[in-house]
Amino acid sequence: MAWQPVIGLECHVQLKTRSKMFCGCPNVFGAEPNGNVCPVCLGLPGALPRANEVAIEYALRLGTALDCRIRAESVFARKNYFYPDMPKNYQVTQYDRPLCEGGELPIVVGGEPRGIRLTRIHCEEDAGKSFHPERRGDRRLSRVDFNRAGVPLLELVTEPVLESPEACTAFLTALRRLVRWLGISDGDMEKGQLRCDANVSLRPAGSAALGTKTELKNLNSIKGVERGVAAEIARQSAVLASGERVTQATLLYDADHDRLAIMRTKEHAHDYRYFPDPDLPVLRVSESRRMAARASNPELPWAREARFRERYALPAYDAAVLTESRELSDYYEACVPEGHAKIASNWVMTELLRVLNDRDWSVADWSARVPAARFKEFLRRVAARELPGPVAKQVFGWLPAEPGTIAELLERHGVRVASGEEALRPLVRAVLEENPGPVAQVLAGRDATFGFLVGQVMKKSEGRAVPQEVQRLLREELAARSRA
Ligand SMILES: [Zn+2]
């Protein structure tokens, strides 16, 4: 029997607000352990929480970007359970009345655009962090850091509509691009700013009913999600092929060894005894606030990607690479010379991104050295064939290292560009004079020899001529000779 995987993802996005979700403690990564705590996030008796307005604003930006329905009234609830890194013994989250419902994230899988339907997005707080166990002499200790306790999170849950590990990768990549684009999170999975659990089940191909699902926890990289989900699909396929049933369970994926371990089997659903948090008022979002959040969103990444394809006639691949980040796409738009979008795209995608990668620079690091107007001038001159290939590469190398206009750079390095008819025509004529044999062959229709003549002119120009220009002038001179 053929089995069809069905995957749903639960993602946690850590918001980059200045303070925590329900208190004024700083929300910073890597501070001195237990330095950023107060009675509210330590859950001391009598402390009163207050919702962070910026976190709500960020949730509204994400919700409106994804076309979710925004509830006019949503409710914070307590999810009760004990865990050593959660001092209150409950987590403040949203349960039956979440802030955002429905919505869709556009992704591309295998070249095909798709919309991945969402169930909900809600606001909640993070737990602290445990470190354990550690050996101290003959004792084993666990330590806990509450700095993360109370950091704002958005939980985003998809419908079970993803059908392959590759689709999970596309989804997470698109989500990471979006939260960075909106400026609401750095979305770094290694730092836990974006986390993901996956629900995986198999069903007979063509069947509408869902099979028994298992939950994969602690997936801490996009590659890890793809490989963990693939391993779980393989495991469930083997179970079903042997005539057994899949047991509902929670699994851990060990990315280093590509191994799954069953953490616990779920015989009963947890009873978290959710109830509305009596310390927090109902979260009310007016129509005007919802509209304002939508209006504050920039042009969204998929809209910009589509516009790049149309406005600049770029291939889908180029448009996707150039809109990987808002900063890169802004820079591209600011430096593209009119009518030469593809040339600009080639230079940005290959040379510029290579430098960023090699030097571990951000787009801002690059543009601090090479403002868009300066790069535009460079691209304009490349497009106008004023800078032959090898010279263009040299100039590109000087751009981030030295100040000055392109003309000043050429002057400073003593590079004379043989471009334009004036400089090239004498070289072309000289080559034709010096090579009567090949000239006769080309005139007799042996076009293969034409390349030889181009090569001779390039050599005479010491690599400074633009090949297209040389070809054009050679054809012109040869045509004059054949008429003569
Ligand atoms: Zn606090």
Q: What is the pLDDT of residue 269?
A: 63
Ligand 1 centroid to Cα of residue 453, in Å, is: 76
Ligand 1 centroid to Cα of residue 42, in Å, is: 7
Q: How confident is the model at residue 363 (pLDDT cuts 50, 70, 90)?
A: very high
Q: What is the pLDDT of residue 135?
A: 80
Ligand 1 centroid to Cα of residue 20, in Å, is: 7
Q: How confident is the model at residue 96 (pLDDT cuts 50, 70, 90)?
A: very high
Q: How confident is the model at residue 317 (pLDDT cuts 50, 70, 90)?
A: very high
Ligand 1 centroid to Cα of residue 52, in Å, is: 12
Ligand 1 centroid to Cα of residue 23, in Å, is: 5
Ligand 1 centroid to Cα of residue 11, in Å, is: 24
Ligand 1 centroid to Cα of residue 112, in Å, is: 45
Ligand 1 centroid to Cα of residue 174, in Å, is: 32
Ligand 1 centroid to Cα of residue 55, in Å, is: 15
Ligand 1 centroid to Cα of residue 270, in Å, is: 28
pLDDT at 372 over 90: yes
Ligand 1 centroid to Cα of residue 28, in Å, is: 12
Q: What is the pLDDT of residue 1?
A: 74
Query: Which residues, in sequence order, are CB contacts of 324 under 8 Å at separation 6+?
Result: 177
CA dist., res. 98 & res. 202, Å (int): 29
Q: What is the pLDDT of residue 118?
A: 98
The gap from C-alpha 368 to its chain's centroid, in whole angstroms, comes to 22
- Going from the C-alpha of 331 to that of each of 326, 334, 439, the distances in angstroms are 9, 5, 47
Q: Tell me which of 61 and 218 has the higher pLDDT.
A: 61
pLDDT at 85 over 80: yes
Ligand 1 centroid to Cα of residue 22, in Å, is: 7
Q: How confident is the model at residue 267 (pLDDT cuts 50, 70, 90)?
A: low
Ligand 1 centroid to Cα of residue 399, in Å, is: 47
Ligand 1 centroid to Cα of residue 44, in Å, is: 10
Average pLDDT of the chain, as a whole number: 93
pLDDT at 445 over 90: no
Query: Which residues, in sequence order, are CB contacts of 275 under 8 Å at separation 6+?
Result: 77, 78
Average pLDDT of span 1-30: 95
**CATH class of the region 421-483:** mainly alpha
pLDDT at 164 over 90: yes
Decide: 252 and 286 in contact? Cβ < 8 Å.
no
Percent over 70 (pLDDT), the chain = 98
Q: What is the pLDDT of residue 426?
A: 83
Instruction: Choose among 384, 444, 376: nearest CA to 420.
Output: 384
Q: What is the pLDDT of residue 125?
A: 98
Domain boundaries, the chain: 3-290, 299-403, 421-483
Query: 214-219 and 249-254 as β-strands: parallel, antiparallel, unpaired?
Result: parallel
Ligand 1 centroid to Cα of residue 194, in Å, is: 22
Average pLDDT of span 129-147: 86
Ligand 1 centroid to Cα of residue 151, in Å, is: 9
Ligand 1 centroid to Cα of residue 47, in Å, is: 10
pLDDT at 418 over 80: no
Average pLDDT of span 282-308: 97
pLDDT at 327 over 70: yes
pTM for the full model?
Answer: 0.86
Ligand 1 centroid to Cα of residue 40, in Å, is: 5
Q: What is the pLDDT of residue 266?
A: 66
Ligand 1 centroid to Cα of residue 12, in Å, is: 20
Q: Strand pairing partners for 358?
A: none
Instruction: Choose among 334, 361, 330, 335: nearest CA to 347.
Output: 335
Q: What is the pLDDT of residue 116?
A: 98
Rg (CA), the chain: 30
Ligand 1 centroid to Cα of residue 217, in Å, is: 27
Per-residue model confidence as pLDDT tens digits over 303-313: 999 999 999 99
Which tokens in the block code for residue 369? 């050295």
Sign (positive or negative) of CA dihedral 452, 456, 457, 459: positive
Average pLDDT of span 159-179: 97
Ligand 1 centroid to Cα of residue 92, in Å, is: 14
Q: How confident is the model at residue 322 (pLDDT cuts 50, 70, 90)?
A: very high
Average pLDDT of span 160-178: 97
